[in-house]
């Protein structure tokens, strides 16, 4: 063999050995299979490992299988409830919420852990956003101020009435003249309008109505690379959209101050009144604005996505759809009725269908927390600045917790409050372990509103139409913040009076 060819062959063999040893190092030695997670690979290996993991994460995100595919494959590879990876230069540990240490981390809120979203989220939602507060004290202050106004019973009833008006208008007036509709588009529209009305009243919602596409741009930018100086990027479009939303909110607040118009019971008025009265829990003007945007972002896409999955699961399960319809008609609501909170309380099976949809869809797949110092979690050594993601999806699909977890079955929650001890034990165990809205001091502030919107939408759809999927493509939207169908869930509608 020529010396040159010999040298090339030797170099190739050396390269293969290096790649194989790196692959083994990155895949196995650092997996944390049977003991504490050892530190990430050192030096160049670490760099390569981070690039490999980031590329795999981005590839998963950009595929029709969704970003959770990246997580699922790593659980399978490591055969452990906990694994470590690195994405965009940060070390991430995924911990299945089936592990007892996960619920402790959420509910006990140890001081050496803080909630942490990517910095881009704070750029887009604002430094004062309740979702982005890393200091426990700031978070408690914002949460108290928002919760006391959001949880007031009259506002919940008013919210249900407003959402029912919007859902009725959409489903009874607009959908009856159409044969095929895309559920996600419609759900995004009415959840946006309902949340805006709750925040700024019907009048103020008019000012925010044209900004729905801006809110969408902010949501889209939250997952984008932070290329703030590059024109035309998603992130830059998101920042520009935020500016317009903030300007509209500032105008609305200025108009209210100017006209002394603070007697409405929408959230903005309540927060502004507290500020005027010097209430200890009052928020500053900037805190109010950031949190108004946060509530829209946190509430709109999540709930619209959940509604869409619910409609999809019920298209695939026609017997359950019929059983729910029988319950809805059994309420004997006649004429042009408006749904009340009391009516919703009568929708027992409907409520279980909502819960089951939320379990299967698991809109927020994991909850990120950053370690503020070196510590131990679930027997694993966690280093300062690592992000521990508590993975709710793996709990919701754990067959040890939910029987046949891939089957849509609202009756898995039967037994709650029915006095059958054996069923009660299992149902309560499953209900308690649902982590759809998080747990502990960071639990979702809008969980009741979300369930109300889902129940009302379900009732109005069931009592007016039968439906089936118009396109069964299961692909997921690429680069979406929450897993959702790429086709937006198009359905074919058959009016009830035609089919019965
Ligand atoms: C199906 C719909 C929804 C789902 C699945 C959902 C899920 C969640 C989850 C899992 C968290 C906690 C994340 C963590 O601990 O890291 C959260 C927080 C939050 N959610 Fe929701 N949410 C929904 C609807 C809403 C609505 C309708 C609103 C308000 C209009 C809302 C407002 C919030 C707020 C303000 C927080 C932050 C709470 C805090 O940090 O103290 N959410 N949500």
Q: Where are the domains of the chain?
A: 43-111+365-412+425-435
The answer on pLDDT for 39 being more than 60 is: no
The answer on pLDDT for 26 being more than 50 is: no
* Distance (Å) from CA 337 to ligand 1 centroid: 30
* Distance (Å) from CA 444 to ligand 1 centroid: 3
Highest mean predicted confidence (pLDDT) among 86-90, 108-112, 340-344? 340-344
Task: Please give the pLDDT value at position 348.
Answer: 97
Q: Which atom of ligand 1 is nearest the CA belonging to 291? A: 35
Q: What is the mean pLDDT of residues 382-396?
A: 95
The answer to whether the CB of 190 falls within 8 A of the CB of 167 is yes
The answer to whether the CB of 375 falls within 8 A of the CB of 393 is no
* Distance (Å) from CA 419 to ligand 1 centroid: 32
* Distance (Å) from CA 317 to ligand 1 centroid: 28
Residue-wise pLDDT for 282-313, tens only, equals: 999 999 999 999 999 999 999 999 999 999 99
The answer on pLDDT for 235 being more than 90 is: yes
Comparing 7-16, 21-30, 248-257, 288-297, which segment has the lowest mean pLDDT? 21-30
Task: Please give the pLDDT value at position 28.
Answer: 39
Q: Which residues contact 36 (CB under 8 A, 6 or more apart)?
A: 376, 379, 380, 381
Task: Please give the pLDDT value at position 21.
Answer: 46
Confidence of residue 203 (pLDDT cuts 50, 70, 90): confident
Q: What angle do CA 86, 87, 88 make, to 5 degrees?
A: 125
The answer on pLDDT for 30 being more than 50 is: no
Q: Which residues contact 144 (CB under 8 A, 6 or more apart)?
A: 281
The answer on pLDDT for 17 being more than 60 is: no
pTM value is 0.90
The answer to whether the CB of 339 falls within 8 A of the CB of 159 is no
Cβ-based neighbour number of residue 90 at 10 Å? 16
Highest mean predicted confidence (pLDDT) among 354-358, 430-434, 472-476? 354-358
Q: What is the mean pLDDT of residues 128-140?
A: 88
Highest mean predicted confidence (pLDDT) among 152-166, 193-207, 246-260, 328-342? 328-342
Task: Please give the pLDDT value at position 222.
Answer: 87
* Distance (Å) from CA 49 to ligand 1 centroid: 33
Task: Please give the pLDDT value at position 367.
Answer: 95
Task: Please give the pLDDT value at position 497.
Answer: 75
Task: Please give the pLDDT value at position 12.
Answer: 58
The answer to whether the CB of 483 falls within 8 A of the CB of 365 is yes
The answer to whether the CB of 417 falls within 8 A of the CB of 273 is no
User: Mean pLDDT, the chain, as a whole number?
Assistant: 87
Task: Give the binding-site residues of ligand 1, using a 6 Å CB cut-off.
Answer: 115, 130-131, 143, 195, 294-295, 298-299, 302-303, 306, 363-364, 367, 436-438, 442, 444-446, 449-450
Q: What is the mean pLDDT of residues 86-103?
A: 91
Give percent above pLDDT 90 in the chain: 60
Q: What is the mean pLDDT of residues 2-31?
A: 50
Confidence of residue 8 (pLDDT cuts 50, 70, 90): low
444 is in an annotated binding site: yes
Closest CA to 415 of 400, 436, 432, 398: 432
Q: What is the mean pLDDT of residues 148-161?
A: 81
Residue-wise pLDDT for 163-180, tens only, equals: 999 999 999 888 987 799
Determine if residue 88 is left, alpha or beta; phi over 0 gives left, psi from -120 to 50 gives alpha, anything else beta.
Answer: left
Q: Which atom of ligand 1 is nearest the CA belonging to 454? A: 1
Residue-wise pLDDT for 337-385, tens only, equals: 999 999 999 999 999 999 999 999 999 999 999 999 999 998 888 999 9
Task: Please give the pLDDT value at position 24.
Answer: 44
Confidence of residue 198 (pLDDT cuts 50, 70, 90): very high
| Nearest residue (CA) to ligand 1, atom 3 | 302
The answer on pLDDT for 280 being more than 80 is: yes
Confidence of residue 32 (pLDDT cuts 50, 70, 90): very low
Residue-wise pLDDT for 407-416, tens only, equals: 999 999 987 7
Task: Please give the pLDDT value at position 165.
Answer: 96
**Among 155, 293, 298, 440, which residue has the most ligand 1 atoms within 8 Å of its CB, making it the best to mutate?**
298
* Distance (Å) from CA 475 to ligand 1 centroid: 25
Q: What is the mean pLDDT of residues 400-404?
A: 92
Task: Please give the pLDDT value at position 479.
Answer: 80
**Among 446, 456, 483, which residue has the most ligand 1 atoms within 8 Å of its CB, making it the best to mutate?**
446
Q: Which atom of ligand 1 is nearest the CA belonging to 367? A: 16
């Amino acid at each position: 063999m020529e010396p040159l060819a010999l040298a090339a062959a030797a170099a190739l063999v050396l390269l293969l050995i290096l790649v194989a040893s790196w692959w083994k190092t990155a895949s196995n030695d650092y997996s944390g299979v049977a003991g504490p997670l050892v530190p990430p690979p050192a030096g160049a290996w670490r760099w390569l490992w981070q690039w490999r993991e980031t590329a795999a994460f981005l590839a998963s995100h950009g595929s029709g299988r969704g970003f959770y595919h990246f997580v699922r494959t790593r659980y399978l590879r490591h055969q452990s409830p906990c694994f470590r990876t690195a994405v965009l230069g940060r070390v991430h540990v995924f911990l299945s919420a089936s592990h007892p240490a996960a619920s402790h981390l959420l509910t006990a809120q140890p001081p050496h852990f803080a909630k942490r979203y990517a910095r881009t989220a704070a750029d887009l939602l604002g430094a004062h956003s309740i979702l982005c507060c890393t200091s426990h004290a700031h978070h408690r202050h914002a949460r108290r101020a928002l919760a006391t106004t959001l949880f007031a019973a009259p506002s919940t009833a008013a919210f249900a009435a407003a959402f029912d008006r919007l859902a009725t208008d959409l489903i009874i007036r607009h959908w009856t003249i159409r044969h095929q509709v895309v559920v996600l588009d419609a759900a995004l529209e009415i959840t946006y309008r309902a949340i805006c009305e709750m925040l700024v009243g019907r009048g103020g919602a008019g000012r925010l109505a044209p900004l729905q596409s801006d809110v969408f741009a902010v949501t889209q930018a939250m997952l984008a690379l932070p290329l703030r100086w590059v024109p035309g990027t998603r992130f830059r479009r998101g920042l520009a959209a935020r500016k317009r939303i903030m300007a509209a909110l500032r105008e609305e607040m200025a108009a209210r101050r100017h006209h002394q118009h603070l007697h409405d019971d929408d959230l903005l008025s309540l927060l502004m009144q507290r500020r005027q009265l010097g209430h200890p829990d009052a928020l500053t003007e900037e805190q109010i604005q950031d949190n108004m945007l946060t509530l829209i972002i946190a509430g709109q896409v999540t709930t619209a996505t959940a509604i869409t999955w619910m409609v999809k699961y019920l298209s695939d399960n026609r017997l359950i759809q019929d059983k729910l319809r029988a319950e809805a008609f059994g309420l004997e609501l006649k004429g042009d009725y408006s749904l009340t909170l009391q009516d919703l309380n009568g929708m027992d099976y409907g409520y279980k269908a909502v819960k089951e949809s939320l379990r299967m869809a698991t809109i927020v797949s994991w909850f990120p927390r950053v370690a503020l110092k070196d510590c131990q979690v679930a027997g694993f050594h966690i280093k300062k600045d690592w992000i521990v993601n508590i993975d709710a999806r793996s709990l919701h699909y754990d067959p040890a917790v939910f029987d046949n977890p891939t089957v849509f079955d609202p009756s898995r929650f039967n037994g709650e409050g029915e006095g059958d001890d054996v069923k009660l034990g299992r149902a309560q165990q499953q209900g308690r372990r649902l982590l759809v809205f998080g747990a502990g001091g960071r639990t979702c502030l809008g969980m009741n509103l979300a369930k109300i919107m889902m129940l009302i939408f379900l009732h109005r759809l069931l009592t007016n139409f039968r439906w089936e999927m118009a396109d069964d493509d299961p692909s997921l939207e690429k680069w979406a913040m929450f897993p959702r169908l790429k086709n937006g869930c198009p359905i074919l509608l058959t009016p009830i009076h035609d089919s019965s």
